[in-house]
Amino acid sequence: MSVKILNLLPVTGDVLTPEMFKYMCKYLEPDTEVQTYQITAGPPSIECEYDEALAAPDVLRLAKQGEEDGFQAIFINCFGDPAVKAAREYVDIPVFGGFEPATHFALGLADNISIVTVMPNVVSLMEGNVSKAKLNGRIVSIRNVNIPVEELQDHEKLCKALVEQSLLAIREDGAQAIVMGCTGFVDVAERIKHDLLAEGYDVPVLEAAQSALKLCEVYAKMGLRQSRLTYMTPPERK
């Protein structure tokens, strides 16, 4: 059974290169199709609650369009999960951001998990997601590399900062697995895992976009979708 997944970009910036797209789809089945829709009204990047609110209306518009266009699952391509819960109410196909898939994969690999994200102002947003997911006892820290989303192209600088923060998470916070807390952290997980192993720490490193697309694929193949007791359909209004 082939699967058709919508990769929904909740930002207006030029953030997705062909190389990034290929990396994201690395673990999908050969017959799985991924297409990208991008919002036209909203922020250039998402780095705070305000940005999420700006993006939400167009995210929901494209989510509905994606369902009508025959997609079987939607990946809202941001670790902050902007409008994910609202989209689950609005459409009848699975919807994921980056946060839930990566952290839930990590839960099966370690007791204590640390998230390493972009900027300090993203931390409180993610703390809210952790609380909503009732993962406070498992997510032991949320660290940041203090690099804006729009400056992630410097791969060497990014990897160095991610390794530094991951080592601190392990040594100071007791982390046993590391989750990359931005879907723009592309083609870094293998490097981080290698460098941590060189320091004597054999721990899993989870990349968010790959995790989310794979989970979308599995849910679509299994015919799963959100519970209407949790995500109730919005009431019709005259």
Domains of the chain: 4-97+210-222 (3.40.50.12500), 99-208 (3.40.50.12500)
**What percent of the chain has pLDDT above 90?**
91
The residue that leads in pLDDT, 153 or 96, is: 96
Q: Which band of pLDDT confidence, cut at 50, 70 and 90, is reported for residue 14?
A: confident
The secondary element (H helix, E strand) that includes residue 95 is strand 95-96
Look-up of token digits 């036209």: 40
CB atoms within 10 A of CB 141: 18
Helices (H) and strands (E) in the chain, counts: 8, 8
Q: How far from 114 is each of 2, 79, 176, 226, CA to CA, in Å?
A: 34, 14, 8, 27
Q: Quick one: tokens of 115?
A: 């998230």
Per-residue pLDDT of 86-133, as tens digits, reads: 999 999 999 999 999 999 999 999 999 999 999 999 999 999 999 999
